[in-house]
């Protein structure tokens, strides 16, 4: 804050500016890519991009190419975690731009971090839930014996949930620090 | 309020301007104004020390306790 006031830009502020830019790009890019892949991708591409569980690909390819209703359903289901992720990234961007301004304890920072943590948590939950829902929905029209119910709970997803919970706790601690900082501002 | 700030009285007695006090203490004129009105939550010891130094007075000359 002192460095910012003096006209200098600290290393944290430079990194925050870069990350804020990255968040904005990813927040727009992720849902657009998910929608584009579902709009134009083949089963092979969708499996490679992990938008469908790779193990259901052979059964899906039996029915030929991706049909329009499968594209719409798949996009609708996959966009839920993607949009939650985007929302989280936009909230993180809010915190990062506050850091760039030299505001390290403001309401924007705490609100942004809490929003990011919450969105990451729900995005991780949605990504776990979306796999079985997606597999059932897009294989609904498959012949008997080829309908799918795929479950996927990887270590990375569990770590995402844990990471989001830890970040939420840190954001709550920062909320307390922010309230102390506000109180200190009233001291001369 | 139980603690009353009498800084304005001291400034008038010493014929000192708020701006000069603010400059010496190292706080803004706006904060001196808030302090004179008693609209602050607290005063740091180093601020109080600089005020007393500048006005050549004791803390009790700028702060008074008034029973409610």
More confident residue, B7 or A102: B7
Instruction: Note whether B40 contacts A183, CB cutoff 8 Å.
Output: no
Contact B21, B54 (CB under 8 A): yes
What pLDDT score does A143 carry?
A: 74
Q: Is the dihedral of CA A40, A49, A20, A118 positive or negative?
A: positive
Q: Which residues of B touch A (CB under 8 A)?
A: 27, 31-32, 34-35, 40-44, 47
Q: What is the mean pLDDT of chain B?
A: 92
What pLDDT score does B1 carry?
A: 56
Contact A113, A92 (CB under 8 A): yes
Residues of A in contact with B40 (CB under 8 A): 186-188
How far is Cα A30 from Cα A103, in angstroms, rounded to an integer?
28
Q: Which regions in chain A score pLDDT beneath 50?
A: 1-6
Residue B24 has pLDDT above 50, yes or no: yes
pLDDT band at B21 (very low <50, low <70, confident <90, very high): very high
What pLDDT score does A5 carry?
A: 45
């Amino acid at each position: 804050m002192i460095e910012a006031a003096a006209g200098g830009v600290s290393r944290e502020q430079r990194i925050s500016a870069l990350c804020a830019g990255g968040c904005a790009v990813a927040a727009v890019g992720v849902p657009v890519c998910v929608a584009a892949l579902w709009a134009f991708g083949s089963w092979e591409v969708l499996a490679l991009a992990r938008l469908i569980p790779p193990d259901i690909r052979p059964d899906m390819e039996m029915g030929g190419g991706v049909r329009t209703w499968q594209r719409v359903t798949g996009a609708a289901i996959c966009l839920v975690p993607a949009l939650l992720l985007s929302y989280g990234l936009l909230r993180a961007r809010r915190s990062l731009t506050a850091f760039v301004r030299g505001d390290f304890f403001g309401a924007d920072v705490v609100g942004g971090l809490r929003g990011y943590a919450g969105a990451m948590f729900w995005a991780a939950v949605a990504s776990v839930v979306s796999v079985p829902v997606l597999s059932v929905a897009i294989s609904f029209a498959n012949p008997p014996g080829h309908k799918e119910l795929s479950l996927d709970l990887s270590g990375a997803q569990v770590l995402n949930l844990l990471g989001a919970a830890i970040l939420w706790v840190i954001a709550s601690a920062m909320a307390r620090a922010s309230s102390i900082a506000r109180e200190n501002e009233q001291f001369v | 309020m139980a603690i009353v700030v009498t800084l304005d009285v001291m400034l008038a007695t010493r014929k000192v301007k708020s701006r000069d006090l603010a400059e010496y203490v190292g706080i803004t004129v706006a904060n001196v104004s808030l302090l004179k009105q008693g609209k602050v939550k607290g005063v740091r010891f180093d601020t109080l020390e600089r005020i007393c130094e500048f006005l050549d007075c004791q803390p009790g000359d700028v702060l008074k306790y008034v029973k409610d």
